[in-house]
Structure 1
Amino acid sequence: MSISERPFASYHLWSLVAPAAGQQHLHCQMRRGFIKARQHEPQVQALLAKVTAPQRIGLLAQKGIYEFHHNRHLLNQSDGVQKVAELLKLAHSCEEVQQRVLQILTKYHDEPLLSGKRVILLTRGDEGFPKPIWVEQKHYSFRLYATMDCVFIESTGALHILDFKTGKSTFDRRQALVYLVAARYLYPRQKAVASFYNLEFCKKSDLISVTRGELDFVEFELASIAQKHQEDLQKYQQQNHKFSQIFPPNPGYHCKFCPFNSICEFSTFKAPQKVQH
């Protein structure tokens, strides 16, 4: 089995395979099919390449935090926010993105969450796919992908994995659990905890920590998800005419917010086509 054929798991895949608690009615397996099975088709590629305003805000916010700590003197300068905005080329973004990112930068400049912390990892957010973590156990093996925003060492010596959020993004505990599984391989000698922080609302989540047994269970869950997804991909490669059976649709009001509503035959919402002049 080649590297590309080996099962893989990530928080993103977990969220595509299984809905968050209470979100079952909004969950659609066909979305996973478009993203993971048909991503090389020109129409799907074009839709995946589109960056929404919320996505751009999240990326620029992450870059902004990185720039503040890469150029630490900017945190102490009265024009620090303006300087970081220039580094981000924020003026090239639409009005909504500019306003919200400036608010985020201003709030962080006033109260820098990571100031004084022993940061060992802080990403820009545009590094691309992380290197896979090879999970090899007696009954399963898979590639684990975990892109961490920030890792620092607590005064207690514990490893703290911090994930930044923007907008109304919910704190999905499963994402923290994936980070904690990754940490057991990347930082095997250190106890790890995880949390979320919303940069727009300056809201912290509770600290998330698990026992070794709980972590074993999460790892097994990820292995099951990786295996199921790999089997679905193989079924689709062998019988691509059964796309809607392998990745069943769940049409509803949420189709309005799906990036694939313009090409999905089951969508209850069709985006208006632009008239060509």
Structure 2
Amino acid sequence: MSNPEQPFASYHLWSLIAPATGQQRWHCQMRRGFVKARQHEPRIKALMAKVTASQRIGLLAQKGVYEFHQNRHWLQQTDGVEKVAQLLKLSNLAHEVQQRVMQILQRYYDAPLLSGKRIILLTRGDEGFPKPILIEQANYCFRLYAAMDCIFIESGDTLHILDFKTGKSDFDRRQALVYLLAASYLYPRQQAVASFYNLEVGKKSELINVSSGELNKIESELAQVARKHQQDLQKYHENSNLFPDIFPPNPGYHCRFCPFNSICEFSSVHIPGI
């Protein structure tokens, strides 16, 4: 089989390797195996290509904010929300998606968080993987991927990295830490802070900032993430029969929400009484 890819790290990979605080019970390493080791298999590729309603809502919300600021005059027009909705082709989508996205657009129109900000980056959300940042440590190097939603200038020259959310999921501070580490490489002369904002409920997180010493710790943590994943891929490529040993399952009620439950032999969906 081909050699595993070069080592890399990202918030997504970090979350697949280690659960967020309080989520240990529902965390399953086998999901990482499907997503990161077997993603090219036709059945798994097809499952990964499916977009859930929640994912679609999140993407459309991000696009909506992007379009409002590409066409800023719409924020002043009485039909601004309808203009963005037409651009997003909401009328072609399921009722739940239409309804929730329209509410998000209306909420943003009523209180446009980025209005008047000096925006230096605002993505649509569908640009794909960003160019990786090569991080070289004394005895290890890896590529860091950090797809940021928005960066604007706060008072002075401080960069504010803002990540948009929808739905009910909690904010994971680790995502902000990855963004702050990336910013230290991309904008080395500027201080940076990060925060989250839920477009659906209008909830803001606290501002997150870290010292240079803390950035070093984050970098080391991500190096460990990259190293562990590369080692696991190596083991899998050497012997694919060891898949459940390398990426152990954790069956339970949460299997009902896993996109791979239809093909996972360990899924509790297939076990009577669980």
User: Is the shorter-chain TM-score for this pair beyond 0.5, marking a shared fold?
Assistant: yes
Please give the TM-score of this superposition, normalised by the length of structure 1: 0.96
Separation in 2 of the partners of 1:231 and 1:15? 17
Matched-pair identity in %:
73
For the Cα contact (< 8 Å) 1:256–1:270, is it kept in 2?
A: no
* Structure 2 unmatched ranges of 5 or more: none
- 1:274 aligned partner: none
- 1:46 aligned partner: 46
SS at structure 2 position matched to 1:161: strand
Structure 1 residue 156: Cα displacement:
2.6
- 2:86 aligned partner: 86
For the Cα contact (< 8 Å) 2:60–2:101, is it kept in 1?
A: yes
Structure 1 residue 5: Cα displacement:
2.7
Structure 1 residue 125: Cα displacement:
0.3
For the Cα contact (< 8 Å) 2:4–2:233, is it kept in 1?
A: no
The runs of at least 4 aligned residues of structure 1 exceeding 6 Å deviation read none
- 2:254 aligned partner: 254
Structure 1 residue 256: Cα displacement:
0.5
Count of aligned pairs between the two proteins? 270
- 2:28 aligned partner: 28
SS at structure 2 position matched to 1:125: coil
Deviations 1:14-67 (A, max 9, x none): 000000011111000000000000001111011000000000000000000000
Task: Give runs of aligned pairs for residues 40-79 of structure 1, distance below 5 A.
Answer: 40-79=40-79
Structure 1 residue 150: Cα displacement:
0.2
Structure 1 residue 140: Cα displacement:
1.8
Task: Give runs of aligned pairs for residues 64-213 of structure 1, distance below 5 A.
Answer: 64-213=64-213
Structure 1 residue 270: Cα displacement:
4.4
For the Cα contact (< 8 Å) 2:192–2:209, is it kept in 1?
A: yes
Please give the TM-score of this superposition, normalised by the length of structure 2: 0.97
Deviations 1:194-244 (A, max 9, x none): 000000110100000011101100000000000000010010001000100
Separation in 2 of the partners of 1:166 and 1:262? 27
- 1:226 aligned partner: 226
More off after superposition, 137-146 vs 60-69: 137-146
From the superposition, tell whether residues 146 and 107 of structure 1 become closer, same or farther in structure 2 (CA, over 3 Å).
Answer: same
Structure 1 residue 4: Cα displacement:
7.2
SS at structure 2 position matched to 1:147: coil
For the Cα contact (< 8 Å) 1:134–1:141, is it kept in 2?
A: yes
